[in-house]
Chain A
Amino acid sequence: MMTSPHLRPLAAAVLAASLALPLQAAAADPADTLRAADMWEIDNLDPARSGTFVKEKAMVVESLVEASPDFSLRPGLAASWERTGDREWTFRLREGVTFHDGTPLTAEAVVASIDRAFKVTPTLKTMPQIDAVTVAGPLSVRVTTLVPSAMLPATMVQANLAIAAASSETTAEGTIVNPVGTGPYKVESWRRAEKTLHLARNDAYWGERPAIAHIVFRGIPDPSTRSLEIQKGDVDFVPDVPYGDLDMLARKGFQASRHVTARVYQLDFGSLKGSPYADARVRHAISHAIDRKAIVDKVLFGMGAPSAGPFTNGMSFAAPGIAVPAYDVAKAKALLDQAGWIEKGGVRVKDGEPFEVVLYTYPQRPGLPPIATALQGMLARVGIKAAVKLLDSAAIPKAQRPRDMRLIALTTAMFPDPDFFLRRNYHSAGANNTWGYADPGVDRLLDAAASANDPAARKAAYDEVQRIAARDQPTVLVSYYGVNIVMKPAVKGFVFNPVAHDYMLGTGLRLER
Chain B
Amino acid sequence: MTIALFLFRRLGMAAATVVFATALTFVLTHLAPGDAAEIILSRVFIGDPETAGARSDLAVVATRFGLDNPLALQYLEWARNAVHGDFGVSIASGMPVADEIAERLGPTAVLALASTVAALAVTAGLVAAVRLVPRTRLAVDAAAVASVSIPNFYLGLVLVLVFSLGLDLLPVSGAGSWRHYVLPAAVLALGQFGYFTALMNASLRDADGQLYVLTARAKGLPPHEVFRRHVLRNAIVPVVPYVALQVAFLFGGVVVIERLFSLPGLGGYLVDALDVRNAPALLAAIAVVAVFVSVANLTGDLLLYALDPRVRFSGRG
Where the two chains meet, the residues of A that have a C-beta atom closer than 8 Å to any C-beta of B are: 18, 21-22, 25, 41, 43-44, 46, 49-50, 52, 120-123, 126-127, 160, 171-175, 177, 191-196, 218-222, 224-225, 228-229, 231-232, 234, 364, 391-395, 398-399, 408-411, 414, 424, 431-432, 501
Contact = CB atoms under 8 A, between A and B. Distances in A.
Given A122-B45, A123-B53, A195-B175, A49 B94 contact: yes
Contact of A193 (B38, B95, B172, B176): B176
Contact of A220 (B32, B61, B173): B173
Given A41-B264, A394-B35, 8 more contacts: A22-B179, A52-B47, A127-B46, A175-B94, A196-B176, A222-B259, A228-B160, A394-B34
Contacts of B89: 173, 175
Contacts of A173: 89, 94, 96
Contacts of A501: 47-48
8 contacts: A49-B93, A171-B96, A194-B174, A220-B262, A234-B172, A394-B42, A395-B33, A431-B53
A218 B174 contact: yes
Interface centre among A22, A232, A408, A431 (most CB of B within 10 A): A232
B26 to A, nearest CB: 18
Given A122-B60, A234-B171, A414-B46, A395 B34 contact: yes
B100 A221 contact: no
B71 interface: no
A410 B50 contact: yes
A194 B49 contact: no
Interface centre among B35, B50, B176 (most CB of A within 10 A): B50
Given A44-B93, A222-B259, A408 B174 contact: no
A35 to B, nearest CB: 11
A21 B179 contact: yes
B54 interface: yes
B41 A123 contact: yes
B254 to A, nearest CB: 13
A229 B173 contact: yes
B262 A219 contact: yes
B131 to A, nearest CB: 19
Interface string B3-37: 00000000000000000000000000000111100
A231 B89 CA distance: 38
B93 A175 contact: yes
A224 B47 CA distance: 23
B103 interface: yes
Contacts of A192: 103
Contacts of B61: 122
Nearest to A192: B103
Contacts, number: 147
Interface in B51-96: 51-54, 56-57, 60-61, 89, 92-96
B39 interface: yes
B54 A160 contact: no
A480 B237 CA distance: 61
Contacts of A43: 92-93, 95, 100
B151 interface: no
A394 B96 contact: no
A160 B34 contact: no
Contacts of B100: 43
B164 interface: yes
A21 B178 contact: yes
Interface in B115-173: 157, 160-161, 164-165, 168, 171-173
A411 B178 CA distance: 41
B261 interface: yes
Interface of B: 32-35, 38-39, 41-42, 44-54, 56-57, 60-61, 89, 92-96, 100, 103, 106, 157, 160-161, 164-165, 168, 171-179, 259-262, 264, 268, 272
Contact of B95 (A123, A175, A224): A175
Nearest to A159: B47
Q: Give chain A's interface secondary structure class.
A: mixed
A46 B39 CA distance: 20
Contacts of A225: 172-173, 259-262
A22 B180 CA distance: 11
Contacts of B164: 228, 232
Interface centre among A218, A221, A431 (most CB of B within 10 A): A221
Nearest to A177: B95
B50 A409 contact: yes
B57 A126 contact: yes
B60 A21 contact: no
B175 A194 contact: yes
Contacts of B165: 228, 231-232
A450 to B, nearest CB: 15
Contacts of A195: 175, 262, 264
Given A122-B60, A193-B106, A394-B39, A232 B172 contact: yes
A236 to B, nearest CB: 14
Contacts of A229: 172-173
B108 to A, nearest CB: 12
B283 to A, nearest CB: 18
B299 to A, nearest CB: 24
A347 B39 CA distance: 37
Contacts of B32: 392, 395
B51 A411 contact: yes
A411 B39 contact: no
B79 to A, nearest CB: 20
Given A44-B93, A160-B47, A224-B157, A18 B178 contact: yes
A175 B272 CA distance: 19
A122 B262 contact: no
Nearest to B52: A431
The 3 A-B pairs with the shortest beta carbon distances in the complex, nearest first, are: A394-B34, A395-B33, A175-B94
B241 to A, nearest CB: 30
Contacts of A391: 33
B45 to A, nearest CB: 5
A284 B125 CA distance: 68
Contact of A393 (B35, B50, B56, B179): B50
B174 A120 contact: no
A195 B34 CA distance: 30
Contact of A46 (B48, B94, B176): B94
Contacts of A127: 46, 53-54
A361 B233 CA distance: 55
Contact of A414 (B33, B39, B51, B57): B51
Nearest to B44: A49
Contacts of B174: 194, 218, 220
A41 B268 CA distance: 10
Contacts of A46: 93-94
A122 B63 CA distance: 12
Contacts of B49: 364, 393-394
A414 B96 CA distance: 29
